[in-house]
């Protein structure tokens, strides 16, 4: 491995015009596909085989004209008169009429569905509904209750709703100009004296990558890189190469929409991860390049050594991230598979950019790679000429009391994981949007005027084809009555039947909102009683609708988590065993990851679900966040494990004792790993500035995870454990040692004369006296 990467690095350095041209050609080719073949992204979160999807298939069979719940670009405009007034008053009724006229003039509006003023249309419509139901045999009290359950005007006449669906095939087809037109109409209505807000799938949007959050993360990364290298040019190189890699990755994701469905949140998540690892991978190789320039004046040789050693670590670190992200496909969830593969592709590009594009840029810049100096690189050295820095001091400090360090880390991270016991997973809804958004304001108005369950309807699809035609209506009524008797149901009524009466749709309105556990319990109760009501009525039923689908998706994600963990941890364990030629090192790496991810999830629950620190109002954690977080954090955790421990192993294979190897590994990598962790934390934390709850919570969780794993686990717990294990850390059964190929991540096959004397002037296994003094327990 090291020898192959060495040749790649030297070739890219010497023939830099060829490599730069190759990358530019790749960008143009992918961009051409994206520009000519790309399709809109989707917001669908469906999973084939879940109960709600089967019910949706039954609905499509009985009602061919029905539209998939996720494809309906529905909008609900909520209007309200001031307190003490009603929408029927001329001033406010005229304002609503003007609002409707403005809305109907907007783009992508349905041509065959005129909008109606609820204060004018609803009273007459309600009377007709009640009279028709009573004529059909429904008691008047029940008929009135059924009408109120679907009312577009509140009982006091102050709040009304105007609902329609944009004339598009899917939600992703709604244009920003269409949403802007609605918002402009709302602003005009507010000037006329009424409250006007809008929510629904048709008003949802995902901000594209490239906003202020990314710029803030990049600015912080640039500052850290300037402090690390003391050079403006060197600080800019990882940023520029990472941006190029992310741009290519985003273009590729756009191009892939021509061949598969891509979720609208995928580009943001891929940008977040691709930018962070892209900067980090380039940082590690560039730092190693500067280090090698201290031992050789041949820049091509220094680049080759840097790519052969640090590049090997980058390859295996990238492979762990790729495994973690690509393994999301094994859980069988289409939208999660697309997210994982897109992010994995971006990481792969980041690895290739670090191995080839960065050396080519170094070949182009030559001696100017570390130009624009703001400070000189003059590290302190001991009498043997070795660098003494904060890395060696920290490693020495940990080595004085390794048992105490292990206990402290385990207890602290364990305490942070405690809130995880109250984890509540759900999908974000308008009721959990930011309080200052029109979606949230509209949802709050609906909940106050009509009840929280108005935003969480469920649809019971009834198949009566096996019944005699004369018995079907009674059976549908019996199913509706059964649904109405379930706990926490506000209303259940037949809202439609097909032409031959062989199927019916029953709308169930809960008393609670879409993100509440009581609504999930209601869905469970309906499913539990399904077999009984089918036997009693001779029908076949299914429960679907957005609320049912998102609840089923959340449950499937939870069920898939153990499978995913087993696949990821198993594959990564084998990979790390290959890298470190050890069993205990990969085992401690995996256990450390479990500690950091549990603490991260606990902190995320505390902040986002329970509202700690006031960052967000308490709301459920988005359903796919834990499984995606585990995948990403595992990959990033192994990044730091590989970067730190390969330097420790490199020192060990060149003659250093186990204790000295830990100190030497931190001497050469702690500063760079710390810089990389700070950069990655900054990039992820900057995404908390996004309005989208998914991105905000993911940015927080990833930033916290990097802090916990890089600084607490990899730079504190792991060295303490390695001090305790000593030589046993590198134990590997002989039979397994013979089976495993030698990948030479440490660059043992490369000629580096300075390492031959670094540990060669004393008997094997004897520590450096200086390091013995550093590692000697206090008071000894």
Distance, CA of 177 to CA of 166 (rounded, Å)? 13
Question: Do residues 551 and 523 touch, judged by C-beta distance below 8 A?
Answer: yes
What is the number of other CB atoms lying within 10 angstroms of the CB of residue 343? 31
Distance, CA of 238 to CA of 240 (rounded, Å)? 6
**What pLDDT is attached to residue 751?**
57
**What pLDDT is attached to residue 25?**
95
What is the number of other CB atoms lying within 10 angstroms of the CB of residue 452? 22
What residues pair up with 508 in beta bridges, in sequence order? 458, 492
Secondary structure (3-state) at 338: helix
pLDDT at position 769 over 50: no
Residue with the two structure tokens 């991540």: 745
Residues 6 or more apart whose CB falls under 8 angstroms from that of 152 comprise 116, 118, 121, 122, 160, 161, 162, 163
**What pLDDT is attached to residue 778?**
33
**What pLDDT is attached to residue 132?**
86
pLDDT at position 533 over 80: yes
Using one digit for the tens of pLDDT, what is the confidence trace for 645-674? 888 887 877 777 888 888 888 887 888 888
Question: Do residues 243 and 253 touch, judged by C-beta distance below 8 A?
Answer: no
Using one digit for the tens of pLDDT, what is the confidence trace for 556-572? 888 888 888 888 788 77
More confident residue, 197 or 778: 197
Distance, CA of 405 to CA of 398 (rounded, Å)? 7
**What pLDDT is attached to residue 198?**
93
Winning range, highest mean pLDDT, from 220-224, 534-538, 632-636: 534-538
The two tokens of residue 614 are 């006031």
Do the bridges between strand 489-497 and strand 503-510 make them parallel or antiparallel, or are there none, so unpaired?
antiparallel
198: closest CA among 110, 74, 85? 74
Q: What is the pTM of this model?
A: 0.77
Which domains, from first to last, does the chain contain?
1-43+208-365 (1.20.1640.10), 51-205 (no CATH), 383-437+552-740 (1.20.1640.10), 458-544 (3.30.70.100)
The two tokens of residue 692 are 């989208």
The two tokens of residue 567 are 């696949």
More confident residue, 761 or 160: 160
Buried b (16+ CB within 10 A) or exposed e, 259-294: eebbbbbbbbbbbbbbbbbbbbbbbbbbbbbbbbbe
Q: For residues 62-66, give the mean pLDDT.
A: 86
Distance, CA of 697 to CA of 687 (rounded, Å)? 9
Phi, psi (5° rounding) for residue 254?
-60, -40
Q: Which band of pLDDT confidence, cut at 50, 70 and 90, is reported for residue 3?
A: confident
The two tokens of residue 134 are 């009573």
**What pLDDT is attached to residue 718?**
92
Phi, psi (5° rounding) for residue 136?
-85, 0
**What pLDDT is attached to residue 237?**
92
**What pLDDT is attached to residue 423?**
84
pLDDT at position 151 over 60: yes
Using one digit for the tens of pLDDT, what is the confidence trace for 365-401? 888 888 888 776 566 666 665 667 778 888 889 989 9
**What pLDDT is attached to residue 771?**
45
Q: For residues 10-28, give the mean pLDDT.
A: 93
**What pLDDT is attached to residue 764?**
41
Question: Do residues 444 and 430 touch, judged by C-beta distance below 8 A?
Answer: no
Secondary structure (3-state) at 362: helix
Question: Do residues 745 and 579 touch, judged by C-beta distance below 8 A?
Answer: yes
Q: For residues 421-442, give the mean pLDDT.
A: 82
Residues 6 or more apart whose CB falls under 8 angstroms from that of 757 comprise none
pLDDT at position 137 over 90: no
**What pLDDT is attached to residue 766?**
44
Q: For residues 694-701, give the mean pLDDT.
A: 82
Question: Do residues 284 and 237 touch, judged by C-beta distance below 8 A?
Answer: no
Phi, psi (5° rounding) for residue 581?
50, 55
Distance, CA of 685 to CA of 580 (rounded, Å)? 32
What is the number of other CB atoms lying within 10 angstroms of the CB of residue 738? 8
pLDDT at position 767 over 50: no
pLDDT at position 418 over 90: yes
Lowest-confidence segment of 73-87, 408-422, 580-594 by average pLDDT: 580-594
**What pLDDT is attached to residue 321?**
82
Cα-Cα-Cα-Cα dihedral of 637, 641, 644, 648, to 10°?
170
Using one digit for the tens of pLDDT, what is the confidence trace for 706-754? 899 999 999 999 999 999 998 888 888 888 888 877 776 655 556 555 5
- Percentage of the chain surpassing pLDDT 70? 91
Question: Do residues 726 and 658 touch, judged by C-beta distance below 8 A?
Answer: yes
Q: Which band of pLDDT confidence, cut at 50, 70 and 90, is reported for residue 761?
A: very low
Using one digit for the tens of pLDDT, what is the confidence trace for 99-135? 999 999 999 998 877 899 999 888 888 888 888 888 8
The two tokens of residue 73 are 């670009």
Output the average pLDDT for the chain: 84
**What pLDDT is attached to residue 775?**
37
Question: DSSP state, 710?
Answer: I
Using one digit for the tens of pLDDT, what is the confidence trace for 179-191? 999 999 999 999 9
Question: Do residues 387 and 380 touch, judged by C-beta distance below 8 A?
Answer: yes
What residues pair up with 161 in beta bridges, in sequence order? 78
Distance, CA of 610 to CA of 420 (rounded, Å)? 11
pLDDT at position 779 over 70: no
In degrees, rounded to 5, the angle at the alpha carbon of residue 224 between the alpha carbons of residues 299 and 681 is 120
Residues 6 or more apart whose CB falls under 8 angstroms from that of 48 comprise 334
Length of the chain in terms of residues written: 780
What is the number of other CB atoms lying within 10 angstroms of the CB of residue 78? 25
Lowest-confidence segment of 165-169, 343-347, 684-688 by average pLDDT: 684-688
pLDDT at position 195 over 50: yes
**What pLDDT is attached to residue 750?**
64
User: What is the chain's alpha carbon radius of gyration, rounded to the nearest angstrom?
Assistant: 31
CA distances from 59 to 52, 160, 550 (A): 10, 29, 17
**What pLDDT is attached to residue 62?**
92
Distance, CA of 605 to CA of 600 (rounded, Å)? 9
Cβ neighbourhood burial of 330 (10 Å; 0-12, 13-18, 19+)? middle
Using one digit for the tens of pLDDT, what is the confidence trace for 478-506? 999 999 999 899 999 998 889 889 999 99
**What pLDDT is attached to residue 379?**
63
Question: Do residues 525 and 483 touch, judged by C-beta distance below 8 A?
Answer: no
Using one digit for the tens of pLDDT, what is the confidence trace for 452-482? 898 889 999 999 999 999 899 899 999 999 9
Phi, psi (5° rounding) for residue 507?
-90, 125
Q: Which band of pLDDT confidence, cut at 50, 70 and 90, is reported for residue 643?
A: confident
Residues 6 or more apart whose CB falls under 8 angstroms from that of 29 comprise none
Q: Which helix (H) or strand (E) holds 504?
A: strand 503-510
pLDDT at position 780 over 50: no
């Amino acid at each position: 491995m090291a020898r192959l990467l060495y040749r790649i690095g030297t070739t890219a350095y010497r023939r830099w015009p060829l490599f730069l041209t190759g990358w530019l050609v790749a960008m143009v080719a992918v961009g051409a596909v994206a520009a000519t073949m790309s399709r809109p992204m989707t917001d669908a979160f469906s999973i084939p085989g879940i109960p709600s999807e089967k019910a949706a298939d039954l609905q499509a069979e009985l009602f061919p004209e029905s539209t998939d719940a996720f494809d309906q670009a529905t909008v609900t405009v909520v209007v309200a008169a001031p307190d003490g007034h009603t929408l029927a008053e001329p001033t406010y009724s005229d304002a609503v009429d003007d609002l409707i006229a403005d809305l109907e003039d907007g783009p992508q509006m349905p041509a065959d569905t005129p909008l109606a003023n609820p204060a004018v249309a609803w009273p007459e419509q309600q009377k007709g509904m009640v009279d028709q139901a009573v004529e059909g045999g429904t008691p008047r009290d029940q008929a009135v209750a059924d009408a109120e359950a679907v009312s577009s005007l509140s009982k006091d006449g102050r709040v009304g709703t105007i609902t329609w669906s944009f004339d598009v095939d899917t939600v992703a087809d709604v244009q920003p100009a269409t949403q802007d037109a609605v918002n402009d109409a709302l602003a005009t209505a507010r000037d006329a004296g009424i409250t006007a807000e809008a929510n629904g799938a048709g008003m949802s949007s995902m901000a594209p990558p490239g906003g202020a959050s990314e710029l803030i993360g990049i600015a912080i990364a640039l500052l850290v890189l300037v402090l690390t290298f003391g050079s403006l040019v060197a600080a800019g190189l990882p940023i520029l190469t990472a941006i190029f890699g992310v741009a290519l990755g985003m273009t590729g994701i756009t191009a892939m929409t021509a061949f598969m469905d891509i979720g609208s949140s995928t580009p943001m998540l891929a940008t977040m991860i691709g930018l962070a690892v892209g900067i980090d991978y380039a940082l590690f190789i560039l730092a190693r390049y500067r280090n090698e320039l201290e031992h050789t004046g041949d820049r091509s040789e220094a680049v080759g050594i840097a790519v052969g050693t640090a590049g090997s670590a980058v390859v295996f670190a990238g492979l762990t991230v790729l495994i973690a992200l690509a393994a999301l496909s094994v859980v069988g969830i289409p939208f999660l598979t697309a997210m994982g593969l897109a992010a994995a592709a971006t990481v792969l590009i980041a690895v290739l950019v670090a191995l080839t594009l960065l050396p080519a840029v170094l070949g182009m810049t030559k001696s100017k790679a570390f130009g624009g100096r703001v400070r000189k690189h003059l590290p302190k050295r001991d009498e043997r000429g070795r660098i003494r820095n904060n890395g060696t001091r920290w490693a020495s400090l940990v080595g004085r009391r390794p048992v105490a360090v292990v206990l402290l880390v385990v207890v602290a991270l364990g305490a942070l994981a405690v809130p995880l016991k109250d984890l509540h997973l759900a999908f974000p809804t308008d009721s959990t949007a930011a309080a200052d958004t029109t979606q949230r304001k509209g949802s709050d108005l609906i909940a106050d005027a009509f009840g929280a369950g108005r935003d969480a309807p469920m649809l019971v699809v009834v198949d009566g084809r096996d019944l005699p035609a004369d018995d079907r209506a009674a059976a549908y009524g019996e199913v509706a009555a059964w649904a109405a008797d379930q706990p926490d149901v506000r209303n259940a009524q037949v809202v439609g039947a097909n032409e031959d009466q062989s199927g019916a749709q029953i709308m169930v309105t809960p008393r609670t909102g879409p993100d509440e556990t009581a609504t999930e319990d209601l869905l469970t109760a309906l499913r539990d009683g399904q077999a009984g009501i089918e036997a009693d009525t001779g029908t076949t039923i299914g429960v679907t609708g957005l609320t049912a689908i998102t609840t089923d998706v959340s449950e499937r994600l939870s069920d898939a988590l153990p499978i995913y963990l087993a696949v990821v941890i198993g594959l990564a364990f084998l990979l790390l065993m290959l890298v470190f030629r050890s069993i205990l090192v990969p085992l401690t790496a995996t256990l450390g990851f479990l500690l950091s991810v549990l603490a991260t999830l606990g902190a995320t629950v505390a902040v986002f679900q329970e509202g700690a620190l006031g960052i967000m109002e308490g709301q459920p954690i988005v359903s796919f966040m834990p499984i995606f977080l585990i995948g990403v954090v595992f990959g990033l955790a192994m990044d730091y494990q590989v970067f730190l421990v390969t330097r420790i192993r490199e020192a060990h294979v060149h003659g250093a004792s186990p204790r000295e190897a830990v100190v030497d590994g931190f001497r050469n990598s702690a500063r760079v790993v710390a810089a990389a962790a700070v950069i990655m934390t900054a990039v992820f934390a900057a995404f908390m500035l996004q309005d989208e709850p998914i991105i905000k919570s993911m940015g927080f969780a990833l930033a916290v995870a990097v802090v916990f794993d890089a600084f607490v686990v990899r730079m504190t717990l792991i060295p303490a454990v390695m001090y305790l294990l000593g030589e046993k850390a590198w134990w590997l059964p002989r039979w397994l040692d013979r089976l495993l190929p030698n990948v030479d991540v440490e660059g043992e096959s490369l000629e580096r004369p300075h390492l031959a004397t670094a540990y060669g002037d004393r008997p094997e296994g004897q520590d450096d006296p200086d390091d013995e003094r550093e590692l000697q327990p206090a008071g000894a």
